[in-house]
Amino acid sequence: MKAMEWTIGWWRVSLQRVYPTVAQLSQTYDKAALQWHEHLSLLGYCHAYRQLWKSLKNADLLPHWQDNLTICDCGIGTAAFSLAFAQIIAPRTHITGVDISPQMLKIAHQKLSQANVSHQICQSDVRRLPFADECFDGVISAHVLEHLPNPEQGLKEIVRVLRPEAPLILAVTQPKLIGRLIQWHWGNRCFSPEELSSLMSEAGLTNLQFFPFPIGLTRLTSFVCIGFKSSR
């Protein structure tokens, strides 16, 4: 993590981001869990996630995706991204939801059960996924990579569990005014499309394509990138 430094006369001033530890972050999200889904919905993210899946479907980017898929949602939170996926893309998907926050996972389990989506939940760090190599048809992840001080490590681990040619769909916070305010509050970082593109390419993902969020508040905070693991 690079520090910003200024030399003023005989003084050197240095400013460096301090990321919360996994334990601190898990505690923060545990506290936020009860209201999380309601807030997401009020701010338009649940709607935006559905619209995004529609855009990806219409763009014909998920060719063999119909049913009986095994999908991993990294940093599932209360399952909003997964629920929208199941609703728009494939209702008979099996979702594996990974998160560091037990309270978020508890609500994800409730929501997925209510929606009859086959699933399992797993308390784990996305940088150390307890799954075999190449076991998922796809990985989806919304607003999680921003929390990693070393996002390249998270991406490497995600690519490891993807089958060859399978897609990773990532929603991230962008460095515009509202993204910066979110960053200030949650201690996360933001990604420009260029930064994300270079991280994803370095992790071995190809055919990257970017999608804006639908019109509304979410368009100001976030964008989506889809990339595919190379074939062997």
Ligand X SMILES: C[S@@+](CC[C@H](N)C(=O)[O-])C[C@H]1O[C@@H](n2cnc3c(N)ncnc32)[C@H](O)[C@@H]1O
- Binding region for ligand X (CB under 6 A): 22, 25-26, 29, 40, 75-77, 80-81, 98-101, 104, 125-127, 142-144, 147-148
In the complex, what is the shortest distance from the CB of residue 218 to ligand X, in angstroms, rounded to a whole number? 11
Is 29 or 53 the residue whose CB approaches ligand X more closely?
29
Is 100 or 190 the residue whose CB approaches ligand X more closely?
100
Contact 117, 83 (CB under 8 A): yes
In the complex, what is the shortest distance from the CB of residue 12 to ligand X, in angstroms, rounded to a whole number? 32
Is 137 or 222 the residue whose CB approaches ligand X more closely?
222
Closest CA to 164 of 127, 141, 137: 137
Give residue 167's region: left, alpha or beta (phi > 0; psi -120 to 50). beta
In the complex, what is the shortest distance from the CB of residue 49 to ligand X, in angstroms, rounded to a whole number? 7
In the complex, what is the shortest distance from the CB of residue 196 to ligand X, in angstroms, rounded to a whole number? 16
Contact 154, 125 (CB under 8 A): no
Residue type, 25: L
Closest CA to 79 of 101, 104, 57: 104
Is 104 or 203 the residue whose CB approaches ligand X more closely?
104
